[in-house]
Amino acid sequence: MKLARTVLLSICILCFMGIQSHAANIWVAINGNDNNPGTKDQPKLTVAAALRQARELRRLNDPSITNGINIILQGGEYVLDELLFIRPEDSGTSTSPIIIENAPGEKPVISGGAVVKGWKKASAYISGLPKEAQGKVWVAAMPEVGGCALLFRQLWVNGIKAIRARESNTDEEMSRILSVDKQQQEIWIPIPGSGLPKYPDQMEMVIHQMWAIANLRVKSITIKGNQAGLTFYQPESKIEFEHPWPPPVIDKGHKMNGNSAFYLTNSLSFLNRPGEWYEDMHTNKIYYYPRKGENMADAKVTAPSLETLVKVEGTMERPVSFVRFKGISFENTTWLRPSQKGHVPLQAGMYLLDAYKLKIKGTPGKSGLENQAWVGRPAAAVELSYANHTGFENCIFTHLASTALDYTRGTHDDEIKGNLFTDIGGTAIQIGIYSDEAFEAHLPYNPSALREVCTNEHIENNLVADATNEDWGCLGIGAGYVKGIRIEHNEIFDVSYSGISVGWGWTKAANAMSDNIIRANKIHHYAKHMYDVAGIYTLSAQPNSIIDSNYVDSIYKVSYAHDPEHWFYLYTDEGSSYFTIKNNWCPSEKFLKNANGPGNVWENNGPMVAESIKDAAGLQIPYQYLLKGIKVNPGNQPINH
């Protein structure tokens, strides 16, 4: 009996210890109520309310949070009315982190989408609609947010991205510009076979410019014979005609591959094939031409209403710490800058605020510099600044119009691991300061407060597939001024420009970057639209940095590239210094070392690299499940090797 009592007492003690070892759990469900206590049986409705409850537990130092707080999301779609803001008061600690995660076996989605309802097939004649689409399009009222019709640039039908009505059916069918008049700020084009509307209305022009595109809102159309002159709204017009890099190509001397390609978009007059749509801001109607098999009576049609879903923001003195996301999907964001101000990027999606060629070249820090530029940063679905020990694991980022995940500044010791990024309009993973809006893009960034620099970040075992599908000049993984970053065992394919880019500034001068590692990544089927490109690309001095054991293969053939041979597997661009580049497998030694600085060591790169290194690159075995159901080169576009 004494032994039994001892055993029973021991069990009770162990049970008590087990209860104490568990973190506090706050449950959230799509059928919950924010007045509920947040238990599994009585869950909260919103993540914001769960965060508030966690914040109060932390403020009161409740004993239940000794080992952390878990905000557990049951399955379903959590549609946000405003972005989810995570503050310094939401921070955890190393022993008591805050984890926002999926319930076991569940697939919660944090969404910025608005459902488009009430679709009806248009039976009456629609003025301006091409004859081949008459009687085939469906019409719905634009959704309203805050009492106003929603402006958006993307539409998903049953989870498949629809095509914003455009005049060339495929990229290979794009026409070439005829001339550029910088004084009149006018571009002349051949009139498409389908014709042009009398007035531009909401039309946009997208121009292929070497390693970036430009989105220009058309202001006027002048017809002369079989040509049309287009002018554009400000501020993008001034920037487009004054900025020197990258320019629209006019190949008068036949030294390149012809003039820049372009396409026109966002006009009812272009809506002529299945899968295309148009939003009429005058009538507040949406027009859609269904694909084969789509039943608009019961289709789920989603338009994005937010640019940012989650913002984690501290300050330098009070950062956000120990907050992690696990098993969450982030979906349905928009990208509004091109609709509001146009979009003319310098590189990597960083849009120009001002740029011009210097009449007398040279600046105090760079005597040979012949241009100046100031840039802004695209919006991101999930954005973090002044944060540390945060992480994203086993999450899905999809149906996002601009950057997916962005660590902007002042972050350190964060982990991005085992996530899927697919159907991303811009860069999938972005990290580090590029140039602040008041900081000229060619100046070396070297702040006195090193806490500004994103440091010791780890990007590991992520799959990036079908990113940069709107802004073609963006990246699979892009890093600006970073220190101690590790980009390892990721797989990247079906991107429009480079796979991985690290560095900014085009300078050999000392700056904030050093000790960066790009190792064992698998990059293939890249440069889907742009050239002057590489699987791995670098800029500026980065002491003690290493690029090794990567796999780079299968660059797309692009008939309209400005220079069809100007593509590379590895590309150390202007100022790249103090790198060790070794043991990287690729089919040939097609590399570019452009205006590099000192200290670079190249060793054993190309087809001679051991099969064991080649085979070990990319996702490690526990993460290869991410590839399930993901198609490589779904359009069967030809490739170079």
> Residues 263-317: pLDDT tens digits?
999 999 999 999 999 999 999 999 999 999 999 999 999 999 999 999 999 999 9
User: What mean pLDDT do residues 462-466 have?
Assistant: 98
Of the candidates 480, 506, 500, 477, the residue with the CA atom closest to the CA atom of residue 550: 500
167: Cα within 13 Å, side-chain hemisphere: 23
Of the candidates 464, 316, 321, the residue with the CA atom closest to the CA atom of residue 404: 464
Phi/psi at 452 (nearest 5 deg)?
Answer: -70, -25
Residue 58's SS3 state is helix
Which residues, at least 6 apart from 124, have a Cβ–Cβ distance to it below 8 Å?
Answer: none
Could you tell me if residue 158 is inside a domain? Answer: yes
Return the number of other C-beta atoms located less than 10 Å from residue 141's C-beta: 15
The encoded tokens of residue 513 equal 């970057």
User: What mean pLDDT do residues 201-226 have?
Assistant: 97
User: What mean pLDDT do residues 458-462 have?
Assistant: 98
Nearest 10 degrees: Cα torsion 366, 369, 371, 377: -50
Cis amide bond preceding 235, omega within 30: yes
Could you tell me if residue 62 is inside a domain? Answer: no
The encoded tokens of residue 170 equal 């495929």
Which residue has 């089927």 as its token pair?
525
Q: Which of 272, 301, 330 corresponds to the end of one domain?
A: 301
Contact 470, 338 (CB under 8 A): no
| 431 plus 572 within the same structural domain | yes
Contact 572, 600 (CB under 8 A): yes
Q: Is pLDDT of 129 > 60? A: yes
| 601 plus 466 within the same structural domain | yes
d(CA 133, CA 275): 11
d(CA 375, CA 266): 26
User: Which residues are paired to 540 by β-bridges?
Assistant: none
Q: What is the pLDDT of residue 44?
A: 98
The encoded tokens of residue 362 equal 């040279």
Q: Is pLDDT of 1 > 70? A: no
Q: What is the pLDDT of residue 15?
A: 36
Which residues, at least 6 apart from 565, have a Cβ–Cβ distance to it below 8 Å?
Answer: none
DSSP per-residue letters across 39-107? -SSS-BS-HHHHHHHHHHHHHTT-GGGTT-EEEEEPSEEEE-SS-EEE-GGG---SSS-EEEEEPTT--
| 282 plus 410 within the same structural domain | no
| 507 plus 631 within the same structural domain | yes
Could you tell me if residue 319 is inside a domain? Answer: no
| 272 plus 415 within the same structural domain | no
Residue 66's SS3 state is coil
Q: Is pLDDT of 18 > 50? A: no
| pTM, two decimal places | 0.96
Could you tell me if residue 17 is inside a domain? Answer: no
Q: Is pLDDT of 20 > 80? A: no
Give the pLDDT confidence of 381-399 residue by residue, as tens digits.
999 999 999 999 999 999 9
Longest Cα–Cα distance of the chain, Å, equals 106
User: What mean pLDDT do residues 463-490 have?
Assistant: 98
Total domains, the chain:
2
| 470 plus 597 within the same structural domain | yes
∠ Cα 607 558 251 (to 5°): 120
How far the first Cα of the chain sits from its last, in Å, is 78
Q: Which of 301, 318, 335 corresponds to the end of one domain?
A: 301
User: What mean pLDDT do residues 113-138 have?
Assistant: 96
Q: Is pLDDT of 5 > 80? A: no
Instruction: Indicate the residue type of 2.
Output: K
Give the pLDDT confidence of 40-82 residue by residue, as tens digits.
999 999 999 999 999 999 999 999 999 999 999 999 999 999 9
Could you tell me if residue 297 is inside a domain? Answer: yes
Question: Is the C-alpha dihedral spanning 167, 171, 173, 177 positive or negative?
Answer: positive
Q: What is the pLDDT of residue 605?
A: 98
Of the candidates 192, 187, 247, 248, the residue with the CA atom closest to the CA atom of residue 217: 187
Q: What is the pLDDT of residue 23?
A: 84
| 556 plus 445 within the same structural domain | yes
Of the candidates 156, 71, 152, 155, the residue with the CA atom closest to the CA atom of residue 108: 71
Rg (Cα) of the chain, in Å, rounded?
26
Q: What is the pLDDT of residue 315?
A: 98
User: What mean pLDDT do residues 597-619 have?
Assistant: 97
Question: Is the C-alpha dihedral spanning 230, 231, 236, 242 positive or negative?
Answer: positive
| 527 plus 636 within the same structural domain | yes
Instruction: Indicate the residue type of 243.
Output: H
The encoded tokens of residue 546 equal 């290493």
Q: How far is CA 552 from CA 37, 205, 476, 491, in A?
A: 52, 33, 13, 10
| 290 plus 412 within the same structural domain | no
Give the pLDDT confidence of 500-552 residue by residue, as tens digits.
999 999 999 999 999 999 999 999 999 999 999 999 999 999 999 999 999 99
Q: Is pLDDT of 367 > 60? A: yes
- Which strand (E) or helix (H) includes residue 9? helix 2-21
Return the number of other C-beta atoms located less than 10 Å from residue 255's C-beta: 7
Contact 237, 216 (CB under 8 A): yes
Q: What is the pLDDT of residue 2?
A: 41
Question: In the predicted model, what is the mean pLDDT of the chain?
Answer: 95
| pLDDT band at residue 17 using 50, 70 and 90 as cut-offs | very low
- Residue 226: which region, alpha, beta or left (left: phi > 0; alpha: psi -120 to 50)? alpha
Burial category of 239 from C-beta neighbours within 10 Å (exposed 0-12, middle 13-18, buried 19 and up): buried
Could you tell me if residue 3 is inside a domain? Answer: no
| 295 plus 410 within the same structural domain | no
Here the contacts of 280-286 (C-beta below 8 Å, separation 24 or greater) are 280/202, 281/149, 281/151, 281/202, 282/201, 284/141, 284/142, 284/149, 285/139, 285/140, 285/141, 285/142, 286/116, 286/139, 286/140, 286/141, 286/142, 286/155
Could you tell me if residue 278 is inside a domain? Answer: yes
User: What mean pLDDT do residues 108-124 have?
Assistant: 97
Contact 366, 299 (CB under 8 A): no
Residue 512's SS3 state is coil
Phi/psi at 261 (nearest 5 deg)?
Answer: -80, 160
Instruction: Indicate the residue type of 97.
Output: P
| pLDDT band at residue 6 using 50, 70 and 90 as cut-offs | very low
d(CA 45, CA 38): 9
Instruction: Indicate the residue type of 545.
Output: S
Q: What is the DSSP letter of 367?
A: T
Could you tell me if residue 196 is inside a domain? Answer: yes
Q: Which of 239, 267, 301 corresponds to the end of one domain?
A: 301
Residue 288's SS3 state is strand
Structural domain boundaries enclosing 219:
114-301
Helix ranges restricted to H, 438-500: none
201: Cα within 13 Å, side-chain hemisphere: 18
